[in-house]
Amino acid sequence: MSKRLLKSGMIVSAMTLISRVLGLVRDVVVANLMGAGASADVFFFANKIPNFLRRLFAEGAFSQAFVPVLTESHAQGDMDKTRELIARAAGTLGVIVSIVTILGVLGSGVVTALFGFGWFLDWMHGGPAAEKFELASVMLKITFPYLWFITFVALSGAILNTLGKFAVSSFTPVFLNVMIILAAWFISPQLSQPEIGLAIGVLLGGLVQFLFQIPFLIKAGVMVKPKWGWRDPGVVKIRTLMIPALFGVSVSQINLLFDTFIASFLQTGSISWLYYSDRLLEFPLGLFGIAIATVILPALSRKHVDAHSEGFAHTMDWGVRMVTLLGIPAMLGLMVLAKPMLMVLFMRGEFSPQDVHQASLSLLAYASGLLNFMLIKVLAPGYYSRQDTKTPVKYGIIAMVTNMVFNAIFAYFYGYVGLAIATALSAFVNMALLYRGLHIAGVYQITKRTVLFIIRLVIAGAAMVAAILWQLEDMSVWLGWSFAHRSGVLGMLVGLGAVVYLAVVFLLGMRLKDLKAGTE
């Protein structure tokens, strides 16, 4: 079992790596085109709203409710019933998302006013951010239909993952990045407002992702005609699980939108600096945290269906081991190399050294919470796989309130950096509550062996940081280097850190069997 999980995790990570690398290329292109000014703020805002709803309807609440029910149906061996469940779920979800999409396009101004209230006030009173409000309203009309396409992309991905075909859904996001890059190169230069071209790229990216997965659904024998099924027993069960999950997922998304709401009152560039630092955070989070969570949710669901409690706990333990092994060096590396990474990736065109400095501050704050973000991705499936979607909601609401309180406090003193600090702190609260709940329920308790495993990783991480700091030049020196020189030095520092980390971990006694023992 552990070998299969490890193999699946490696497949998802490899596909995700390709997507994340292209995502960074996309961000480099966008940074070169728009920097971190008003236009960039508006584009990231217009892209954030449909992505918020995507996580709400598709990748978040729906998937967490749909995968356990689909796994249960598939385990019974009746493919006709499984296809019927897929058809009813797809049809019902499709109608709901279509209505939301139409309302979003028609009411883009209202949506912009709701989440970009600072811009709306300037528009009402002729302030400096009035143009941001008008442009964001127009761009939302273009990006909102992306929600419809990506919802079915997420649905298809959940189906294929349940069938053990992880590579397709992990590779699919590549097409969004490719289309935005192509739009930046070929559409934006033809327009007086280049950011409109990027919005068109987002919409085209959704369409291409949607079309890409269809042949794989056909090959797997699960390409069905959607049917309305509001009262279908399977859909009713999904709805029952989804409603609390909707609140649970919306908690983290509301936190992000609340950050955007506050940032609309802060200095121009705040949304962009937060975006670029968050993008670097998302790279290891997607590559490791989400990849591991993707493969353990179906595995945990099968263990629950088979009433294999020991195997369930072992699978959870494997996920925690893998996340800490990869998350600790990723977190420390981002914190130590924040400025060099931002400088190499984004400092060109409209993205200035001042933007590097500003974004590095929020990246430092975000990165401090990376391990907690990754652990949340692994601990939450411990509830969803058991069809318990209510408990994470309770914890999520506590984390959301905590985040809002921290936002109000830290944003007052530290501006946009305070928003990142609040996000990192609330992630710790959420992670701690999730673990405590699993522990109290007797579902999962971290083993002594895993605690010792983590202690070794912390020691190795400290050695890695010391080695990097020993070789790291002052940033004033970096500014005088060429792009090639900066890139080479950054690559050497990353390589040095990786070698030192792995060497110390090995010297402290960790072996490959430690990665496999978690699920045996």
Over residues 120-139, the pLDDT tens digits come to 888 888 777 778 888 889 99
Number of helical (H) and strand (E) elements in the chain, helices listed first: 25, 0
Per-residue confidence (pLDDT) for residue 310, from 0 to 100: 72
Q: What percent of the chain has pLDDT over 70?
A: 89
Per-residue confidence (pLDDT) for residue 447, from 0 to 100: 84
Please tell me the distance from the alpha carbon of residue 284 to that of residue 279, in angstroms, as a whole number: 10
Contact 286, 252 (CB under 8 A): no
Please tell me the distance from the alpha carbon of residue 71 to that of residue 435, in angstroms, as a whole number: 24
| Rounded average pLDDT over 281-309 | 70
Per-residue confidence (pLDDT) for residue 517, from 0 to 100: 43
Which single residue is written with the structure tokens 């978690």? 518
| Rounded average pLDDT over 159-168 | 82
Which single residue is written with the structure tokens 């390589």? 495
Q: Of the spans 167-181, 257-271, 451-465, 498-512, which averages the highest pLDDT?
A: 451-465
Q: Quick check: 514 pLDDT over 80?
A: no
> How many whole angstroms from its chain centre is CA 296?
17
Instruction: List the one residue out of 62, 88, 216, 229 whose CA is nearest residue 151.
Output: 62
Contact 173, 78 (CB under 8 A): no
Please tell me the distance from the alpha carbon of residue 168 to that of residue 153, in angstroms, as a whole number: 10
| Rounded average pLDDT over 483-498 | 94
Per-residue confidence (pLDDT) for residue 276, from 0 to 100: 86
SS3 of 11-75: HHHHHHHHHHHHHHHHHHHHHHHHCCCHHHHHHHHHHHHHHHHHHHHHHHHHHHHHHHHHHHHHH
| Rounded average pLDDT over 49-54 | 71
Please tell me the distance from the alpha carbon of residue 163 to that of residue 323, in angstroms, as a whole number: 24
Contact 229, 91 (CB under 8 A): yes
Provide the mean pLDDT of the chain.
Answer: 85
Contact 481, 489 (CB under 8 A): yes
Grade residue 497 by pLDDT with cuts at 50, 70 and 90. Answer: very high
Per-residue confidence (pLDDT) for residue 372, from 0 to 100: 93
Over residues 185-195, the pLDDT tens digits come to 999 999 888 88
| Rounded average pLDDT over 324-349 | 92
**Two tokens at 403?**
């985040």
Contact 200, 180 (CB under 8 A): no
Over residues 377-428, the pLDDT tens digits come to 889 888 877 878 788 888 888 988 999 899 989 998 999 999 999 999 999 9
Per-residue confidence (pLDDT) for residue 492, from 0 to 100: 96
Q: Quick check: 5 pLDDT over 70?
A: no
**Two tokens at 455?**
């202690």
Instruction: List the one residue out of 172, 164, 151 whose CA is nearest residue 220.
Output: 164
Q: Quick check: 307 pLDDT over 60?
A: no
Instruction: List the one residue out of 242, 272, 256 whose CA is nearest residue 69.
Output: 242
Give the type of residue at 9.
G
Q: Quick check: 160 pLDDT over 50?
A: yes
Terminal Cα distance for the chain, rounded: 7
Contact 399, 372 (CB under 8 A): no
Per-residue confidence (pLDDT) for residue 125, from 0 to 100: 81
Q: Quick check: 287 pLDDT over 50?
A: yes
Over residues 58-79, the pLDDT tens digits come to 556 677 778 788 888 888 877 8
Task: Give the single-character DSSP code of 443.
Answer: S
Per-residue confidence (pLDDT) for residue 324, from 0 to 100: 93
Q: What percent of the chain has pLDDT over 90?
A: 35
Q: Please give the residue that has the higher pLDDT: either 443 or 305.
A: 443
Q: Is the pTM of this model over 0.85?
A: no
Per-residue confidence (pLDDT) for residue 8, from 0 to 100: 62
Per-residue confidence (pLDDT) for residue 12, from 0 to 100: 67
Q: Which of 288-292, 361-365, 419-423 has the lowest mean pLDDT?
A: 288-292
| Rounded average pLDDT over 481-505 | 94
Q: Quick check: 435 pLDDT over 90?
A: yes
Contact 383, 439 (CB under 8 A): no
Please tell me the distance from the alpha carbon of residue 73 to that of residue 85, in angstroms, as a whole number: 8
Per-residue confidence (pLDDT) for residue 518, from 0 to 100: 43
